[in-house]
Amino acid sequence: MPGALEQLEKEFVSKLQLDSETESMMRGLGRRKGGAFGRVAAAGKGGHVPGFSSVEILVLTAIATSFLAFSLPMINSAFSTYRLTRAADGVAGELQAARLLAVTRNDQTRLEFLDNSEPPQATTSAASARRIRITDTSTPAVQLRPDYILPEEVTFEKLPSVPIGFGSRGEIIIPAGGFTEDMSSILLRNGSGYMEIRIASNGRIRVIDKRTG
């Protein structure tokens, strides 16, 4: 038993010496490496970890500011593209609604472009057009659903050269002079580019992304 006790005492003393050497080494590394290991050593000794230095805070702030400066243009571009796409889908949805109403009512429908005056007035100017209204072809025309209002950040660049109407079979109403694509093309734009909504003679509606040319 005395021999076993002596052996345990030697192991305990050896462990204490190793812990002391490890703490000394960490303190030395802390002084050479700028304080990172020093903070760990201080925590092991006193239980308190110092905060970041002013230099470290300035470096982190500079990195975050640079990241934000590079990210903002991309974020703005993404939002601009989203707004243009949403507006194009909204206009295409109104065209599709007018076509569906013509089929379900077994009667012709028509689209009117209006400005933002009070009350809204029909217009053929792309610059002043802000609303789309679906009506029947009676006199006076009866509005068939609430107006669609174009988002503020999107404008019409080009309107159809003739009024758009749909027949009872969902086909586009062709004027006496014949049908051309220019007669049934609507162009929208904002800061991200252009999108076109095109209606074929059979009433089919397509949204074309013009931002890529």
User: Is residue 79 scored above 80 in pLDDT?
Assistant: yes
Residue 24 confidence (pLDDT): 61
Amino acid 60 reads L
User: Is residue 198 scored above 50 in pLDDT?
Assistant: yes
Residue 96 confidence (pLDDT): 95
User: Is residue 160 scored above 80 in pLDDT?
Assistant: yes
Which of 59 and 168 is assigned the larger pLDDT?
168
Residue 21 confidence (pLDDT): 56
Task: Report d(CA 47, CA 69) in Å as an integer.
Answer: 39
* Contact partners, residue 138, CB within 8 Å, separation at least 6: none
Residue 86 pLDDT level (bands cut at 50, 70, 90): very high
**pLDDT > 90: percent of the chain:** 46
Q: Could you tell me the domains of the chain?
A: 2-51 (no CATH), 80-209 (3.55.40.10)
Per-residue pLDDT tens for 117-129? 999 999 989 999 9
* Contact partners, residue 187, CB within 8 Å, separation at least 6: 126, 156, 157, 158, 194, 195, 196, 210
* Other Cβ atoms closer than 10 A to 202: 9
Residue 37 confidence (pLDDT): 46
What mean pLDDT, rounded, does the chain reach?
80
Angle between helices 2-33 and 36-46 (to 10 degrees): 140
pTM of the model: 0.66
Residue 13 confidence (pLDDT): 47
Which of 167 and 30 is assigned the larger pLDDT?
167
Calculate mean pLDDT across residues 149-155.
93
